[in-house]
Amino acid sequence: MTTHPTTPPPRWAVWAAHLTTLVVLPSGLWRIALVLGYPSGYHEAGFVPFQTPGAKIWMLALSVVCELLAFLTIGLVRPWGEDVPRWIPLIGGRPVHPLAATVPAALGAVALTAMWASMPWWWTHPHADMTDTGRLMVGIIYQPLVLWGPLLAAVTVSYYRRQRPRC
């Protein structure tokens, strides 16, 4: 239940927010395949470092955390991004201050855009530990991540415009 007036998000923002969860999914599934023991494009020697327990925990945790962070983008177009859900102790039911959502989302958008900006040039770097097919496959699987930052930025701007205090 919203405690302050709000306008519904534009349809494009809702689509963009949901798309963020999908652009993260291929790379997460690829890492989970590595965790399950499938070489996923690596030569036998190149695959060895991924078989340690620490590497498996890291890859699984990274996949889950990335998907959860992408899912938070949906909060920028849903009611739980405007009012804290009632089931959350101490703060449940209170309105979310627009900057409490906008600032972390904007910083995340900048960081993600910077982090993945070089991904289109994946194929220009040597990957001696991968097969040619694996190098192609991983490059294609990771390309959608280039969209994560810009999608988050667009949804963040839409959220801020709807939630900013009116004069």
How would DSSP label each residue in 42-103? B-HHHHGGGGSHHHHHHHHHHHHHHHHHHHHGGGGTSGGGTB--TTSTTTTTSBPPHHHHHH
Say what the pLDDT of residue 49 is: 87
Residue 6: inside a domain, yes or no? no
Q: What is the pLDDT of residue 2?
A: 46
Distance CA 97, CA 15 (A): 23
Look at residue 84 and tell me if it is in a domain: yes
Give the pLDDT confidence score for residue 125 in this predicted structure.
Answer: 86
How many domains does the chain contain in total?
A: 1
pLDDT at res. 71: 96
Task: Give the C-alpha distances (Å, rounded to integers) separating 137 from 8, 30, 80.
Answer: 39, 10, 37
Domain-embedded: residue 120: yes
Q: Is residue 67 part of a domain?
A: yes
Segments in the chain below pLDDT 70: 1-5, 167
- Where in the sequence is the domain holding 105, given as residue range(s)? 11-163
Q: What is the pLDDT of residue 5?
A: 55
Output the pLDDT for position 68: 96
Do the beta carbons of residue 159 and residue 77 sit within 8 Å? yes
Task: Tell whether pTM > 0.75.
Answer: yes
Q: Is residue 21 part of a domain?
A: yes
Predicted pLDDT of residue 120: 92
Q: Are 59 and 35 in contact (CB under 8 A)?
A: yes
- pLDDT score recorded for residue 1: 45
Residue 2 lies in a domain: no
Exposure on the CB side of residue 120, measured as CA atoms within 13 A: 5
With respect to residue 5, please indicate whether it lies within any of the assigned structural domains: no
**Structural domain includes residue 3:** no
